[in-house]
Structure 1
Amino acid sequence: MKLIRFGEVGKEKPGILIGEKRFDVSSIVTDYNEAFFEENGLEKLKKALESNPVLPEVDASIRLGSPITRPSKIICIGLNYVDHCLETNAPIPTEPIIFFKSTTSLCGPNDNLIIPKNSEKTDWEVELAFVIGKKASYVEESEALDYVAGYALLNDYSERAFQLERGGQWAKGKGSDTFAPLGPFLATKDEVKDVDNLSMWLTVNGKKYQNSNTLNLVFKIPFLVHYLSQFMTLLPGDVISTGTPPGVGLGIKPEPIYLKAGDVVALGIEGLGSSSQVAVAYTK
């Protein structure tokens, strides 16, 4: 299945994507939240759909929100592509680098990117994200995929001055509003044949800057689930973003390139759709 949420900000309803058509499943499901995943909602929804209910179609003009509601946490993996380490002059990690994005950074896949107040170095990062399907603590790597509900496209926007020049941890540059557009949909595991071999790309104003494949991940998803679960309990609905490949603005030679109001960022991952954000300046 491909799960979507649609409607105005804060008033989204759950739906599904079948082919190019969107359908409203709010008569079956309250929302795609922690309770939904914890209570085996994916299987219940599948069985309900097999009974061939008449579902209202959702007009393609209606806004898509994040395919899941605000999770308990958004965990990101830093420097998880070898070439990205090289372009940023960083050593290749021997263990995953982890940081958090604020849950308030989550937004719809095509919502505007709000450049933060006083930002001069807002950057882009196309990433493969996955969503936890059931409570995970001290998980064995061999069983890790049993805890994954599905996969989605995420843009891990970053303000590099906040992240790298203001002291403290990376979270300062990662958590601004609209810095985590997710979707357009959450694809359940059966929708993705080989998550370790998906092409991915990102353009700014039509120019391609990132062009890679999940083959190049340093730490793969089963290991990440196992590893993270040694340090914290992962709850149903939690989002883990696996890192970005080369081509971020910070790494452009001879001078970095950063986003400004009016820029259009488009990105996609094979089998997980595409999204687009227009950069706008912060206003009160």
Structure 2
Amino acid sequence: MARTRRASDGRMPLLEHLLELRKRFVLIALGLVVGAIAGWLLYDPLLVLLQRPLVVAEEMRGNEMTLNFAGPMAALDLKIKSSLFLAVFLTCPWWLYQVWAFITPGLNKSEKKYAYGFVGAAFPLFLGGAYMAWLVFPHAIQILSGFLPDDATAFTNAQEYLSLVMRLLIAFGLAFLSPVLLVGLNFAGLLSGKALLAGWRWAILVAFTFAAIITPTPDALTMILVALPICVLYFAAVGVSVLHDRRVEKRFADAEV
């Protein structure tokens, strides 16, 4: 009876919601710690990989392009940041599942299969967004290095350079992941397919604004190439959400009959 009274006044569900949020944060944090340990061990090959755009630009331009560390503490700080960055990618399926489990705690047993579909779709999309950023970034470095005088040496601050690369990869990954999160909100009953469809103009505006801000180069072609996949993914999310809403409405209609 006490449980019923507390649930009826709305306090207990809110408390349970906050406890569930804390639980998911703790699980995500534990996963990131494990991933960061692996990232620490993989730091050297990661550093070589992240420097690749500079190496390519150096070969094309002939200018020497060198990463510059301000001191030993800067190198240690960068290693810690790089380990956490790699942890985000290594534990991607884990924290994606935790996000889904928090958004949709009320799914019944037969609907739990959607969690695996969510992670199965979100993981490649997140990596696909990061890969697109990786394709865009060397192009940006080549354009920017074109302003260097002949025989000049570019001493690039290691922390600024690698932080830019890491932010770019994560930002693109999350941008490609956003349509799947919208589908998750729809399956949780928090966002209808009609609302997503009605907001398509705002979605396109946000996609192109994001592309204009996040792309390192000012050319319109790069911005369009970044924004178009995000728009396509958004409309795919709209289609899935609309179909899901129709199935739910049909199920309720059949139940009433």
Tell me which interval the TM-score lies in, with the shorter structure as reference length: under 0.3
Structure exhibiting the larger radius of gyration computed from Cα positions: 2
**Structure number having the greater strand percentage:** 1
**Structure number having the greater helix percentage:** 2
Q: Which has the higher contact order (CA 8 A, sep 6+)?
A: 1
TM-score, structure 2 length as denominator? 0.22
TM-score, structure 1 length as denominator? 0.20
